[in-house]
Structure 1
Amino acid sequence: MKQRLVPALVALTLAAPLAFAQAEEKVLNLYSARHYQTDEQLYGEFTRQTGIKINRIEANDAALFERLKNEGKNSPADVIIMVDAARIWRAENDGFFQPVKSAVLDQRIPANLRGKDEGQGSPWYGFSKRARVIVYNKATVKPEDVATYEALADPRNKGKVCTRSGSHPYNLSLVGSLIERNGEKAAEEWAKGMVANFARPPRGGDTDQIKGVATGECGVAITNSYYYVRLLRSTKPEEVELMKNVGFVWPNAATTGTHFNIGGGGVAAHAPHRENAIKFLEYLASDEAQHYFADGNNEWPVVASVPAKNPTLDSLGTYKIENVSVAAIGKNQIAAQRILDRVGYK
């Protein structure tokens, strides 16, 4: 009998230190759709403060979604970071997040910038804000003619409008917001007007739209604010010259407010290092991390008490944010894509 117990006891003795090491492992596996070099400092500071090493996988949203589906319950992901409500909603809808209760996050992140709490906590939180703004060519377009999203679909702007693809999440979120505010019928009429006013077929990213406006190929375009600020901060002589031709307006400033979106994320559904993951999310809501978002990628902090401290970003002035929750925008993604497909918004 004793001979049979000895191997078992040895096995338990050997297993105990390993189990303890796993429980205390100071590691965080981050799956991120953010691809900004400036985030390096953000992650490095978290490791310096906590001793938790960050293992990162960075890819576009489609690649990350495919990876998470293939990994299933065996996924090593602890935290998933996405940009734009459309992507965050899809990640939640596909079951990639788990709810988290955190007094720190609930106190610092506004309710309209986090997922719905069904009693177990929020599945995701927003950590940075970006606005969907309008830029125009100063020589060919009057700012009062492009002061709202709706004005871009007006016949007076025929042949002037440039945008990126209608299937891109940034546009899906904007249409999702229009659906929430004005209803599907009005959103579809707007999309038809946009297609009728295109200066060229939708293509390229937001930087391409701004440069198209600067060169006169486009009269007006929609862009995320941080692309515009990034070009304003550029020291490249050719970009400095280009930006002299570009004007900027806060869309719908006098009415419903400008469409804002977020970068955010949550704890992965099968996170092996859950406590480390929550610590990381709470760190992203800290004053220090919020400043990184503003200074590093020209995004606004989501924590109301934290100023941006980015002179170029501040130069855009004050703004009015639309009264639409990010969760509602995400919910409308499927309807938005159907509308854009129906009207031929390629």
Structure 2
Amino acid sequence: MKLKNPLLFAALLALSASAAAAQEAVLNLYSARHYQTDEALYSNFTKQTGIKINRIEGKEDELLERIKNEGANSPADVLLTVDAARLAAAHELGLFAPVKSKLLESRIPAYLRTDDWFSFSTRARVIVYNKAEVQAEQVQNYEDLANPALKGKLCSRSGSHPYNLSLMASVIAHQGEQKAEAWAKGLVANFARAPKGGDTDQIKAVAAGECGVAIANSYYVARLMRSDKPADKKVMEKVGVVWPNQKSTGTHINVSGGGMLKHAPNKAAAVKFLEYLASDEAQRYFADGNNEWPVVTSVKVKNPALEALGPFKVDTLPVSSLAMYRAKAQVIFDRVGFR
């Protein structure tokens, strides 16, 4: 059939293209995870689903402020970030929407999820000690770090950092505010220097003898273990690692997670993405790419550093409890001078 009006034909083609573009499946992701290995996560999701990911990365507090300011006009569908304290902050700001998913409920243990956000990987808060200065038997529990015998030997990052706030929240949940504050005072009394730097800095300070003991997230330890750099190898030769509280509550774990945002314009895509993050494939990326543990217990990973660190008893305190005591943890740290 021959069209008599070429201009009309061109207009119809333009309308058709416009409609197709409008229907293109997209997901707008705001992420505070800054790991190159996550690129495979995103590209494989697009390959599997055809959903294009538009990603904005930023610091945690900046992203929360941005979503809050955007309000109902926010294009963001999903927020991904690290640490239960930060996920709790997003919840407290009313940024998340409840998600009902049988798949997520069946694959993610109840203690690692809430009604509106989910953990997708875990990392443990371990004790790192200098083998020449401290005996492993001296630091078998978090409580041991406040022992006067370690006076002048403890290094730490800031007390206001979410990693430390979440650990403190777990101590409050298990032991109550009074004992938690006494523990915090003991930590401050044992500082080798004022808190500074990140977890890797603490590990290196322990190896250098600047302090005898420190707390660090396990994936920083694993990263150094897998490093080919001679300096990193020397660091790991000088330090030992302890899984704290194996005879009591278990080792405190923190999480990386996310949720669908309240004003998400692409809700179906958001749920599909969250469910994808709980898939076997995605769970392996978390473990192999960033040395984190999968939250789906049936997933088997092959990570030499995680295997070398070995199995441990996990503290199964619900992540909601970490969120509940986050503000109180900061108040106590401020009061005892842990800044």
TM range (shorter): over 0.9
Corresponding residue for residue 342 of structure 1: 335
- For residue 321 of structure 1, the aligned residue among 314, 317, 324 is 314
Corresponding residue for residue 285 of structure 2: 292
User: Equivalent residues in 2 for 1:293-312 (5 A)?
Assistant: 293-312=286-305
Q: Which moved more, 1:19-28 or 1:326-335?
A: 19-28
Is it true that 1:114 corresponds to 2:113 in the alignment? Answer: yes
Q: Which moved more, 1:169-178 or 1:24-33?
A: 24-33
- Aligned equivalents of 1:25, 1:52: Cα separation in 2: 8
TM-fit CA distance, 1:345: 0.3
The alignment partner of 2:309 has SS state of coil
- For residue 208 of structure 1, the aligned residue among 188, 194, 201 is 201
Q: Deviations over 1:188-223 (max 9, x none)?
A: 000000000001100000000000011110100000
- Aligned equivalents of 1:278, 1:56: Cα separation in 2: 16
Is it true that 1:146 corresponds to 2:139 in the alignment? Answer: yes
Count of matched residue positions in the alignment of Structure 1 and Structure 2: 328
- Aligned equivalents of 1:273, 1:194: Cα separation in 2: 47
Q: TM-score, with normalisation over the residues of structure 1?
A: 0.92
The alignment partner of 1:135 has SS state of strand
Is it true that 1:225 corresponds to 2:229 in the alignment? Answer: no
User: Equivalent residues in 2 for 1:125-204 (5 A)?
Assistant: 125-204=118-197
TM-fit CA distance, 1:298: 0.1
- For residue 117 of structure 2, the aligned residue among 113, 121, 124 is 124
TM-fit CA distance, 1:51: 1.3
The alignment partner of 1:244 has SS state of helix
Corresponding residue for residue 28 of structure 1: 27
TM-fit CA distance, 1:160: 0.5
The alignment partner of 1:77 has SS state of coil
- Aligned equivalents of 1:307, 1:190: Cα separation in 2: 37
Q: TM-score, with normalisation over the residues of structure 2?
A: 0.94
- Aligned equivalents of 2:109, 2:157: Cα separation in 1: 30
Q: Deviations over 1:113-144 (max 9, x none)?
A: 101xxxxxx20110000000000000000001
Corresponding residue for residue 101 of structure 2: 102
- Aligned equivalents of 2:117, 2:19: Cα separation in 1: 30
TM-fit CA distance, 1:323: 3.1
TM-fit CA distance, 1:242: 1.6
Q: Which runs of 4+ in 1 moved over 4 A?
A: 13-23
- Aligned equivalents of 1:214, 1:174: Cα separation in 2: 23
- Aligned equivalents of 1:147, 1:53: Cα separation in 2: 47
Amino acid paired to 2:110 = A
Structure 1 vs Structure 2: percent identity of aligned residues? 62
Gaps of 5+ in 1: 1-12, 116-121
Q: 1:145 to 1:56 in 2, by over 3 A?
A: same
- Aligned equivalents of 1:14, 1:86: Cα separation in 2: 51
TM-fit CA distance, 1:15: 12
CA RMSD of aligned residues (A): 1.6
Q: Deviations over 1:226-250 (max 9, x none)?
A: 0000000000111111210010000
User: Equivalent residues in 2 for 1:59-78 (5 A)?
Assistant: 59-78=58-77
- Aligned equivalents of 1:16, 1:105: Cα separation in 2: 39
Q: Deviations over 1:259-283 (max 9, x none)?
A: 0111000101100111111111011
